[in-house]
A and B are shown apart, each in its own frame.
Chain A
Amino acid sequence: MGSEFTKLFELIISASLINNFVFTRFLGLCIFFGVSKKMETAVGMSITFTAVMMISAALSWVVFNHILIPLDITFLEIIVFIGIIAGLVQASDTIMRKMSPGLYYKLGIYLALISTNCIILAVPLINAGEKYSFIQSLAFGLGSGLGFALALVIMASIRERLELAEVPAPFKGLPMAFVITGLIALAFTGFSGLITL
């Protein structure tokens, strides 16, 4: 039991730091560059993301292992996972509109884009590919969500400071954000080899 727990912990650490979705797997970049301009939206977005990611990991694990594998139709995984995620996003959209309209107003357009976001789709696909167990899938979803949140928060804090900096004209906006991301990614390569799974 003890070693099982350690393994889960290792999985979370490796998904969030070593194989960070943004810096080493390059997923979810559209959202990453889109919402990382302000700290407040970045925090709201990362909470939504982590929640949606964990729930979709759980749901798609159940569907994949209890419907797709017994029926031998695993080649439909992309279509099925997209369907699950689209439903989930619609649900979280409605809940957020009722619970916090202010946040909904700010994140509206990106929330609609979550369903076509690679990072959310990648979690179930990787879970299915690696044949993780149910608990492991959840841990992987959580770790990925935390990693994405970390990336967003780092980026948002740098970009808030960058507003005051003088950037050469052609580099204004996105190109500068890319160069910064490159530097952070370089820092994150320091985590590689921390845990070997």
Chain B
Amino acid sequence: MSIPSTTSLKDLFLNGIIKENTIFKLALSLCPSIAVTNNLKNGIYMGAAVLFVQVMVNITISLIRKVIHPKVRLPIFMLVISGWVTVTSMLMAAFVPDVYAKVGLYIQLIVAFASILARAEMFASKNSALPSLVDGLGMGIGFLFALTVISFFRELLGKGTLTVPTGLATSYVVSFINTKPLLIMVLPAGGFLAVGILMAFFNWIDARFKKSIRGSH
């Protein structure tokens, strides 16, 4: 796979978003999917941070993959990941302090994401920079998508509002439901319920989709 064709790159990109969606399909890196998603803005920033780290780690690993000795590859991966996480966490503390105050701990814990280490080990350490970049983008956007969906429903149902980030530090609060919202959705318990129900929903869609393909044959 020296010169990747555009179709394989496209498949690679979609793979991370749909087929191997980190949260809904692989059920990895679940901690922030519940912890920070009671607010749309926090969810989006968290997803963006993960996207950034995933892409940068993939690129870095694939660029230095030829000089890493296989025996010490895991410590080196961890070093690269924690380096980029530190960069992200410092950037967020500087530019979006109000978000960082709430999600800071989880940003630091991106280091411990199985999904990022897994992509570094399985993909970036074997492929050149361009496919690794695309793979990282796909995985990261899949994660961002999952967090956005979860936090969208949780904030809408739990508070009746949506906090849409309009700029780096500004956001706009739209309110939809004026009657008493479902308070449980913004509580910790609601996070688990929301993820569980969304996962079941995607399973259902998957099953329906497969059945319709089989039916047409």
Give every chain A residue within 8 A of B35 (Cβ-Cβ). 25-27
Q: Name the segment of A38-46, A49-57, A95-103, A114-122 touching the other chain.
A: A114-122
Contact yes or no, A78 B82, CB < 8 A: yes
Asked whether A75 and B90 contact (CB < 8 A) given A33-B30, A170-B204, A170-B207, the answer is: yes
Partner of B188, one of A24, A125, A176: A24
Contact yes or no, B199 A178, CB < 8 A: yes
CB of A195 within 8 A of chain B? no
Tell me, in angstroms, the Cα distance from A24 to B188 when the chains sit together: 6
Contact yes or no, A170 B200, CB < 8 A: yes
Instruction: Name A149-185 residues within 8 Å CB distance of B.
Output: 168-172, 174-179, 181-183, 185
CB of B162 within 8 A of chain A? no
Give every chain B residue within 8 A of A62 (Cβ-Cβ). none
Q: How far is the CB of A184 from chain B (nearest CB, A)?
A: 8
Interface residues on B, range: 35 or more
CB of B108 within 8 A of chain A? yes
CB of A113 within 8 A of chain B? yes
Interface residues on A, range: 35 or more
Q: Name the segment of B13-21, B63-71, B112-120, B122-130 touching the other chain.
A: B112-120
CB of B146 within 8 A of chain A? no
Residues of B within 8 A of A (CB): 27-32, 34-35, 75, 78-79, 82-83, 85-86, 89-90, 105, 108-109, 111-114, 117, 184, 187-193, 195-197, 199-201, 203-204, 207
Residues of A within 8 A of B (CB): 23-30, 33, 75-76, 78-79, 82-83, 86, 113, 115-118, 120-122, 125-126, 129, 168-172, 174-179, 181-183, 185-186, 188-189
